[in-house]
């Protein structure tokens, strides 16, 4: 018996080392990839109120282009649909939720900016957009940001869109902020504000819901890109997510999702962006 015990211990050590080398049960918990490997689950931040991108239906299901991108990436990391926890992520809270671990990644119309890159890392980009204006269908006096002097312009807290209009195009614009774009749209319909500004693809989703009342001006005045946000320093997550996004584009799943979720609004489907590798 003593002989058997003498060789069992090193054998166990060798087996444990081999298992660890295969990544079984030893994923880096500071990385999205490691957490996906060890837990088989991910918590993903999306928007719940953006038709065509990230939207929670009355039956509780989630749909939209951002949701499809998030699912595709999760699948590539080995996480099934049923193992994804969706968490609502407001623009003002995205960096904080990544930093404190409330979410593993954010796929929520998250524009890549130099300021944000100081706080989080981005994979992608996976979509290119332009800032535009949503106005009432009967209002033909607003045809661009230069027409907003003395008008009330709505956007959400944590977004730079409205401030950019005031800084670059119409210093006399009166800025109004709400927590959700859907609140801005309600205020627009009620005549409380004169226009809503954010990315054109988001505005197209709202216009498609009320085409007899709302219209997108259709003259984008910026060019921006959406990325997938992860915690600062998680280079392995950036690499693996980039690979997943590139695969989604190459297989045609990227375009299919856009045509299904955004195409019905009349929004022109753009070319896929070059994914940073």
For the domain that residue 75 is a member of, what is the CATH number? 3.40.190.10
Distance CA 77, CA 42 (A): 10
The answer as to whether 10 is a domain residue is no
**pLDDT at position 28, please?**
67
pTM over 0.75? The answer is: yes
Verify that 121 and 238 share a domain, yes or no.
yes
Distance CA 188, CA 179 (A): 15
Verify that 154 and 199 share a domain, yes or no.
yes
User: Are 64 and 72 spatial neighbours (Cβ–Cβ below 8 Å)?
Assistant: no
Q: Which one, of 156, 154, 157, 184, lies nearest residue 166 by Cα?
A: 154
pLDDT of 55 strictly over 50: yes
Verify that 207 and 237 share a domain, yes or no.
no
151-167 mean pLDDT: 88
Query: Between the CA of residue 105 and those of 13, 139, 142, what are the distances in Å?
Result: 35, 39, 37
- Give CA angle at 256 (52, 197), nearest 5°: 30
Q: Which one, of 79, 81, 55, 80, lies nearest residue 66 by Cα?
A: 55
245-264 mean pLDDT: 95
The answer as to whether 112 is a domain residue is yes
The answer as to whether 4 is a domain residue is no
Least confident of 75-89, 94-108, 263-277: 263-277
Q: Which residues form the domain of 102?
A: 29-129+224-265
Query: Between the CA of residue 118 and those of 99, 104, 114, 155, what are the distances in Å?
Result: 12, 18, 7, 23
pLDDT bin (cut points 50, 70, 90) of residue 27 is low
Q: How many domains does the chain have?
A: 2
The answer as to whether 174 is a domain residue is yes
Q: Is 140 helix (H, G, I), strand (E, B) or coil?
A: coil
pLDDT of 12 strictly over 50: no
**pLDDT at position 185, please?**
96
Chain mean pLDDT for the chain:
89
pLDDT bin (cut points 50, 70, 90) of residue 276 is confident
Verify that 49 and 106 share a domain, yes or no.
yes
Q: 107-142: per-residue pLDDT in tens? A: 999 999 999 999 999 999 999 999 999 999 999 999
């Amino acid at each position: 018996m003593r002989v058997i015990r003498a060789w069992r211990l090193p054998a166990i050590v060798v087996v444990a080392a081999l298992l660890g080398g295969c990544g079984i049960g030893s994923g880096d918990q500071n990385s999205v990839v490691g957490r996906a490997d060890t837990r088989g689950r991910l918590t993903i931040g999306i928007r719940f109120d953006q038709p065509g991108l990230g939207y929670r239906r009355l039956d509780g299901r989630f749909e939209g282009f951002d949701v499809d991108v998030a699912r595709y990436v999760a699948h590539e990391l080995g996480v099934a649909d049923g193992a994804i926890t969706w968490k609502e992520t407001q623009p003002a809270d995205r960096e904080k939720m990544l930093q404190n671990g409330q979410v593993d990644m954010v796929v929520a119309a998250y524009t890549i900016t130099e300021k944000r890159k100081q706080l989080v890392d981005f994979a992608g980009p996976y979509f290119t957009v332009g800032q535009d204006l949503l106005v009432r269908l009967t209002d033909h006096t607003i045809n661009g940001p230069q027409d907003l002097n003395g008008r009330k312009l709505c956007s959400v807290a944590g977004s730079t869109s409205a401030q950019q209009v005031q800084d670059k195009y119409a210093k006399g614009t009166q800025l109004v902020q709400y927590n959700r774009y859907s609140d801005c749209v309600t205020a627009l319909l009620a005549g409380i504000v004169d226009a809503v500004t954010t990315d054109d693809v988001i505005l197209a989703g709202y216009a498609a819901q009320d085409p007899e009342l709302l219209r997108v001006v259709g003259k984008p005045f910026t060019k921006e890109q959406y990325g997938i946000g992860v915690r600062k320093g998680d280079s392995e997550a950036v690499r693996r997510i980039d690979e997943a996004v590139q695969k989604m584009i190459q297989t045609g799943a990227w375009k299919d999702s856009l045509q299904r979720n955004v195409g019905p609004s009349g929004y022109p489907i753009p070319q896929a962006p070059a994914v940073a590798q």
